[in-house]
Amino acid sequence: MSYRDKKVITIGVVSELTGLSERQIRYYEERRLIHPDRSKGGTRKFSFDDVEKLVRIANQIEDGWQTSEIRKQDLKETNAQIRDKMIAGQLNAAFPSRKM
């Protein structure tokens, strides 16, 4: 796991890094645009990838996108990534690399 994927950043720090209010960040979570982890005490924990995603979301909202449109786009991108990994796996299974 890359350091970018580790969910260690609190909502206050994310707010400072992104310029978004904590309320906006919680709203994007409610709309299922981001998925922070929770500590045992219930504190939201974000990754650097989450921070970048929030900046992208904020830019899309500023450009007039609706949260439902952003979620649909994210789903399409996720499905495309899954499809690409499956195809790569099938190709690797059908044509294993030869080591000499």
Task: Give yes or no for residue 78 having a pLDDT over 90.
Answer: no
Please give the radius of gyration of the chain, using alpha carbons only, rounded to the nearest integer. Answer: 17
Q: Rounded mean pLDDT of the chain?
A: 93
Instruction: Report residue 11's pLDDT band, with 50, 70 and 90 as the boundaries.
Output: very high
The pLDDT value recorded for residue 1 is 77
Q: Could you give the domains of the chain?
A: 11-94 (1.10.1660.10)
Task: Give yes or no for residue 95 having a pLDDT over 90.
Answer: no
Task: Give yes or no for residue 99 having a pLDDT over 70.
Answer: no
Q: Is the pTM of this model over 0.85?
A: no
- Closest to 34 measured CA to CA, from 13, 57, 61, 12: 57
Instruction: Report residue 97's pLDDT band, with 50, 70 and 90 as the boundaries.
Output: confident
